Structures are given as C-alpha cells and as structure tokens.
Chain A
Amino acid sequence: DAGVTQSPTHLIKTRGQQVTLRCSPISGHKSVSWYQQVLGQGPQFIFQYYEKEERGRGNFPDRFSARQFPNYSSELNVNALLLGDSALYLCASSPRGPSSYEQYFGPGTRLTVT
C-alpha cells in the first residue's frame, strides 16, 4: 500500500510570496496533521484536520492555513513567506480518530525561502 505522499518534494520561494503544499494520506485514513521541522530541531505541530474539520492548531501565525478535502487529502498554505519559514514540512495521517497516537509521516516538502 502507498504511504503518505507529499508534493512537491522541494520548493524555492522568495520572501513575500505564497506557497501551497499538498498531502495525500494513506488510503482509509481520515486524519491529517501538519508539522514544521526547522534544521536541527524536532518537528513542531501546525494543524490537525479530521473529517474535513480543524481539530487542533499549534502556535503558528495566521499566515499559516490549511484545509482538508472530501477525499481526505490536505493542503497547507503559507502567505507572506519569511526567511524563517524555510523548513521541512511534514504531513502525517492517522488510521483512527483525531487523538490517535499512531501517526504515519510522509517524506516531507523541503521549502527554502530566499
């Protein structure tokens, strides 16, 4: 079975631009979470969506937004990019409810802001 897939793999943007990252969960998984991982740090929680509703939000500015589609895929949008937004963006899906510990991570999208 295919794992969590993310696109694109790598992305280079300029300060002030907007970016959209995409995630397809494992088939049958209804919960999707987004994490940001800055170089040298552990992943930091951004959002969780379950059944197309936002169920959790981390300590990130309003420039970060997300949504989940009827097929449970998800998009993460970041507006007005800053240099500090350069990071690996990870998507994870869960087979159970919104509070499931068992999360399956994708390979991530490497975003570089110049």
Chain B
Amino acid sequence: DAKTTQPPSMDCAEGRAANLPCNHSTISGNEYVYWYRQIHSQGPQYIIHGLKNNETNEMASLIITEDRKSSTLILPHATLRDTAVYYCIVRPLGAGGTSYGKLTFGQGTILTVHP
C-alpha cells in the first residue's frame, strides 16, 4: 500500500472549516484514498473515501488533486466533537489478493477544535 504523510497536529476554531491535508505521492492507479478518525477512547470511524473525483457525504468532503498525489479532507463546520486523530489511508478497493481487509494506519493528524 502507498505511504501517506500527514501533519502531526492541527488546530481549528469551532464553526470554521477544518482542512486536513494528506500527501500520497506514490499512489498507484488502482488505489483509493480513505479517511478514518479516532475520537479519544473509541475505535476508528470511517469518514469517506475516493479515487479521483471529489466526494462529499454527510460528514465531510474529500478533495483529491488531479495528479492524485495529495488530498484534503474538509470538515465544513467543525465542532468540539470533531476533535480526534484523523487517518489518511491509501489502499486498493478490493480485488482480493493480498489487499483483503487490511487497513494500514499511520500516525495521523491530531485535530483540536477550540471553542
């Protein structure tokens, strides 16, 4: 799986947009970008995923650059409950083989939302 690089920490004011970057310059053509987050003392939570088009769901938006070497997770109106560690993961969607269900988590970005 391609390696990802994320800033170790970020701050955001409550109500403002939180933009979390992820670099994945070695991403392959069949690899998707996934985002998970882990709130303190809980298991990780799936947020969103994408291949090359921008994606949006009820939790967040995912912007992937045209060359797919980086992406940004956007929380449009951050709340205190969004304070968590955010993980950017790159892996193939499926097709079995050695990819199976393994998620490779890095260090992630600690997002702190301030009042």
Residues of A within 8 A of B (CB): 4, 31, 33, 35, 41-45, 48, 50, 55-56, 58, 90, 92, 94, 97-108
Contacts and interface: CB of A to CB of B under 8 A. Distances in A.
Interface residues of B, number: 28
A55 B43 contact: no
B100 A48 contact: yes
B43 A56 contact: no
A102 B106 CA distance: 17
Interface of B: 32, 34, 41-46, 49, 85, 87, 91-96, 98-108
Contact of B91 (A55, A101, A102, A106): A101
Contact of B94 (A42, A92, A97, A107): A97
Nearest to B89: A101
Given A106-B43, A107-B43, A99 B105 contact: no
B34 to A, nearest CB: 6
A53 to B, nearest CB: 11
B46 A102 contact: yes
A104 B101 contact: no
